[in-house]
Amino acid sequence: MKTIGNLLWFLFAGLFLALLWLISGLLCCITIIGIPFGIQCFKLAGLSLWPFGKEITYGRMGAGSVIGNILWIVLFGWELALTHLVIGLFFCITIIGIPFGLQCFKLAQVSLFPFGASFK
């Protein structure tokens, strides 16, 4: 089921969302200060391609992660989280789309707080 879900996800939303994350990562990597943010974008692009079967856990966050998450939310995290929420709502219109909508909501959460998150 995980493989079928990932393949359907890739076709209907994964490629589009991964491209958004890749563009954001490239824009962040223009400056040296933005490279940590760009790396987070690239990790989230990979998660956006194949989210089924992946779990997001938050470990202990230090001061750097907290500051990074605050800057992330203020600069561009809220736009990407809003995109995931809107796409998730569209998926949840039908019963068949609910699993895909739940994956979008999972990605919306991690797009708000990417620092300190690990994907299994």
pLDDT at 105: 92
What is the per-residue pLDDT for 20?
84
- Over its C-alpha atoms, the chain yields an Rg (Å, rounded) of 14
Kindly tell me if the per-residue pLDDT of 92 is higher than 90.
yes
Whether 93 has a pLDDT exceeding 90, the answer reads: yes
pLDDT in tens, 6-38: 999 898 888 988 998 899 899 989 999 899 999
pLDDT tens sequence across 56-72: 888 878 888 889 899 98
Secondary structure, 3-state, 84-113 = HHHHHHHHCCCCCCHHHHHHHHHHHHHHHC
Average pLDDT over residues 44-60: 87
Give the Cα separation of 41 and 23 in Å (integer): 9
Instruction: Answer yes or no: is pLDDT of 1 > 80.
Output: no
The average pLDDT across 102-107 equals 90
> Full-prediction pTM beyond 0.85?
no
Banded pLDDT at 116 (limits 50, 70, 90):
confident
Calculate mean pLDDT across residues 91-111. 91
